[in-house]
Amino acid sequence: MRAAVLTLALAVGVLAAATGVAHAYPQYQLSREPTCATCHISPSGGGLLNDYGELVAEEDSQWGGNPSFLHGAVELPDWLALGGDLRAAGGLHDGGNGAGPSVFPMQTELYGAASKGAVTLYATVGLTLRENNPWPLAREHWLMWKPGEGGEGPYVRAGRIMPVFGLRQAEHPYYTRRYGPTPLFAEVYGVNGGWLSPKLEAHVTAFVHDPVVDGTQKGNGAAAYVEKRFGAAQLGAEAMYATSDDDGRLHAGVTGKLWLEGANLLLSGEGMVVHQDFTSAGAPSRYQLIGQLIGTYFVRPGLFVDLGVGHFAEDTAIADTFRDAVDLNVHWFPLSHLELVLTSRFQRIGLGNGGDDSGFALLQVHYRI
């Protein structure tokens, strides 16, 4: 116990870079496991791995290595789980004025979970350099009741969470994340419950925006997501409504996946319609369209490639405000605790008529504590 507490204090002390968000890789859902909760403590995926998830991290890396916390240097009691994520990136970025070098921290977070029977207390702690929040941030902290094992059964949790919605892609530049209802720093206070099984997954969340931390989610509302699996395919439906002093927003959409085992190829997609009502501000409402299609090719264990295309129409009534992007990401896991990601994007606005083209090519280094 003393060793675990000292290790936790040491890890918190070295957190000194920008906070990002670590999500599960939905590429492994359907292609390998039925639910994100099969490998993660959180029912929506992301953050701490459970014991099985650590084994998957070892098996799916090229050269393996002890996948436990601090490579197994500290033996934790059964009721305690610790971990974390460190990420940084560097390369070239072009915002429309020409390409230039870019180096920046992405994420520094420590996770902890204490469990007693069906009850789990979970928290993240990280530092962020965001102008409106320069202090340590417990981005997620919640209490969960989940009597089932692994990724099956009912659950209920309450606290500061991200509403469960859609495919939950880790790549936050994807339009479905950036312009959808769950962008970076969109955690809210709420109650979330659902059901997990290999054939059916359902989540419902009621929430209010954080009154202290100025996050990207400005409204209060509710979200629902359900998906049904049919062998090597799955279909899902999603909806979220949030209202604030400025507007009311309704997101409604569908998701889908198809696993082509013989080709080692996973096809996934998400599309949604957004109705934004500015009645309270005395302005007309607008409709938005958001979509993402992704093909993931698993070259070998520990190496996969994503090729995606995205579309975002900021206002369907205004010409040349829509955006289109092509994303290419290469993920390599040489060790169970180490990931290298080559991520790149090319974007056009209004097919070249709405603004300058932009893009980036970055190498991301991700170390899992």
Helix (H) or strand (E) holding 78: none
What's the mean pLDDT in 68-84? 95
DSSP assignment, residue 162? P
Q: pLDDT band for 218, please (50, 70, 90 cuts).
A: confident
In this prediction, residue 98 has a pLDDT band, given cuts at 50, 70 and 90, of: confident
7-57 pLDDT per residue, tens: 333 333 333 333 344 456 889 988 888 888 999 999 999 899 999 999 999
3-state SS assignment for residue 212? coil
First to last CA, the chain: 19
Q: Is a pLDDT exceeding 70 seen at residue 131?
A: no
Check residue 73 and give its pLDDT: 95
Question: Which residue, 42, 179, 210, 61, is CA-closest to 122?
Answer: 42
Q: What is the largest CA-CA distance in the chain?
A: 62
Annotated domain spans of the chain? 2-368
Task: Look up residue 228 and give its amino acid.
Answer: K
Looking at residue 162, its pLDDT comes to: 94
Give pLDDT tens digits for 254-311: 999 999 999 999 999 999 999 999 987 778 899 999 999 999 999 999 999 999 999 9
Inter-CA distances, 305 with 123, 125, 354, Å: 31, 31, 30
CA–CA separation, 37 vs 141, rounded Å? Answer: 17
Query: Length of the chain in residues, anyone?
Result: 369
The answer to whether residues 350 and 320 touch, using CB atoms and an 8 Å cutoff, is yes
Q: Is 46 left (phi over 0), alpha (psi -120 to 50) or beta?
A: left
Q: What is the pTM of this model?
A: 0.89
**What is the reported pLDDT for 151?**
77
pLDDT above 90: percentage of residues in the chain: 72
Alpha-carbon gap, residue 226 to 237, rounded angstroms: 6
DSSP at 3: H
315's tokens: 């206002």
CATH of domain 2-368: 2.40.160.10
Mean pLDDT of the chain: 89
**3-state SS assignment for residue 272:** strand
Task: Please say if the pLDDT value at position 106 is more than 50.
Answer: yes
